[in-house]
Structure 1
């Protein structure tokens, strides 16, 4: 039975080989499933990366030129159109023409009151003189005072302080050296006093007695000498008194007063001399007596306490002097430190003032430049007013010469009549006359930057409305400031050989720069704190494979217009500069290049 069960189990259970094959099949299926999942996730990852990574358009910088273009519109007016303008406040006696009427050279157009014209001419001449004086005053109204600039003043202050520091330190060093010498002298005096005291204390009674007797002899000798000198002085004084008495006796009369005064002076000198010498002799006698007393004490075997005390006082005084000189030396050292510290503070303050003055200097320079520009504009406007007044005077003089009549300067057409008989003229025109041979003027306004591209005498491109081709020989005749404008606008007048009054026209000027190495689209420029840079698409290898990174490159703008910019910097001809992006990007961001 056991054998049958064993055989039956063998039939029902798989063999080891079959078991291994089955495990292998399961492993293969699992691996295949894993690979399929990984492929799916990779696809999803790439799709997500494509959606989140900024897409950029980039292009390589190229060489070329920067084109500057100015395009402005204006309207034509006749170049020889003449506004018959005389001035205001004049009576119009007659008007002989009307608008659209053709006239010949010399035809009378209208008549004004000649007397009023003469008065107007005198007033206009006075006005012209005032304008000329104002122009002269404007030219002379300059500040010629030699005021030193704030920066120069600050520099001088700093230099003076530094020089003061050097000089004061030298003086303090001299004081310190002198104080050291005084200390040394005091120490030497102390040493001498101590040696004298030690010598005195070490002397025997016999040695002291011997020295005391010598001092007594010296005192005796000094007393005798003083008595001798006293006798001589008293004799000289007495002789002077005797001579004064004799002189008084001999002179008498009117000169007795002066002789008496001389006698009084001589007697006074005698008494003074006698008194002085008595004090001197007394002092010498006292010194002698002290010396004798000292000898007597020593002979009696007494100790000279007074001399000992004197020597001890000398030592004490010398020690005090050393301390005093050491204190003065310490004061000198502290004074030097305080002086240097104070000057250092002043120098640091002066350095700060110098930095501040540099800023003020820049502001002054800017203000001066602005004032010069303003003065130039005022001068140009003044010149225009003078020219206008001179034209007015010329017209008035011509009207007076022709008896108040205004005549046609040439054959032409009366374009407009602005007055009627009996009117009083105002500042406006009386009438407008257009000569038959007139060419035309295109007038328009340009910004300060646009006007810098054009100069008088340049030939520019002018295209009349309705024409496809520009008119030839269009020349810039004048460039003047726009009255009342503060932004530097200019009024430009261009002569145009043909056209019609009031016709619109387009003026175009195109200028090309020198050739530049790198030109990029204006959209590629990025700015940060006043500095410019571009982002360059650079490829780099990472753990995930090849990636494209936005790399920052600082550049400097050489020239630009509305579309392009010429730059220089750490760019290469093979670099691809990012021009556009579908998302905001910064340096270091991953990007994806797309075709434009």
Structure 2
């Protein structure tokens, strides 16, 4: 029994070992097998290739007069011709008819041009006469207008002056003058009365004074005689009051009479002045009404003259404006009339066309090859009319050929004028030692460049296809990798580096992602920024199945 258990245990262990081996073999079979490489020090070489064909280096157009009937064509496209060889021929009968028609048209054109020049001269003379007349009319209008305005102004001034003169001796001034005289006479009368009263008062005062003096003297004498008891007889007795008054009145009488006369005269003058004022005031209403009427007439005359003056000014301005407009209208230059000049130009063109037809007639309507070349295009058909342009196109054999190809615009940085170039013909014949003649934008496709190479003689024939090769070496780089090692994720370039990693199953080889910066590349290699990779790192270059970053791998050499 124990032996049987041991056998069973041994069988179980063997089965487990078998399963483990089978499991590891199955797991190993599922791991991608890869080949690796390392960074290299290389120079990136850019190679531009393009298909193109050989074209003529220079073409020359053969033309003739348009609208000529083609009698015969003696060449075919692709045919090589020599200089002076007959190309085609024009129908002479129709050509002579065209020459006759052209001569008649030239004669008519000459007559029309002469008529136009004559008409232009007559119009210029009429224009000058019209300007002279307009200037004269303007001067007359200005002179007449000035005279009319001046006459109206003088009449207005005279009316204003008459009104002012009428206003000067106004009734108000006369009344004031009379009142002033009444006041003046009254003041003179009052002054005379005061003077008379003063004289009378002076007389009264003198009489009273003399009387008082006489009384005093009488009293003195009476007192003296009482004391002595004697009565003395004096030679002169004291005058009495009556005597004193009479004596003084007789003394003042002449002055008083003169003052009285003056007072009476002043009173009379005052009464005369008052009478004159009263008489003036009684007729004032009638005079005022008459003066108001006269004043109104003079004011109306001023208004009429003012209106006449303004009308004269307006009439002058209107006349001058009309005359000025006439002058301006006469001075305006006529519209540009190029009829005569256009006729002369047309005449020159017809004469030139006639000379060309006559030259073609002199050549008997035969058109010859101007150079040695190859016919590349014929724009003629026998019996039809010649075109207004190129009739036959010739490739100039004496100027050589050129190769033209198109390359994508993004390759512009790899190709330039004077770069070395190689052409490979259809028979794999290589032509080396050439250089790029020009690199220009293609007129029809802005995304393409036209690359031109000038060809030496006797190399490739016109129209032959060939392949262009141009190589340009960039700077050397110590970090170059094959393009197969590069991967891209959202515009970010990276490589997979094979390295050992510790897992639960032990040490295993995995693919680690390393981001890199691509500086330059061609169709085989890419230059990586130095420092992104080290020379010891092994880069996954190829595998028998897809490899994911971080996935297990097996090296091919194991």
TM-score, normalised by the number of residues in structure 2:
0.45
**Who wins on radius of gyration, i.e. which is larger?**
2
TM-score, normalised by the number of residues in structure 1:
0.43
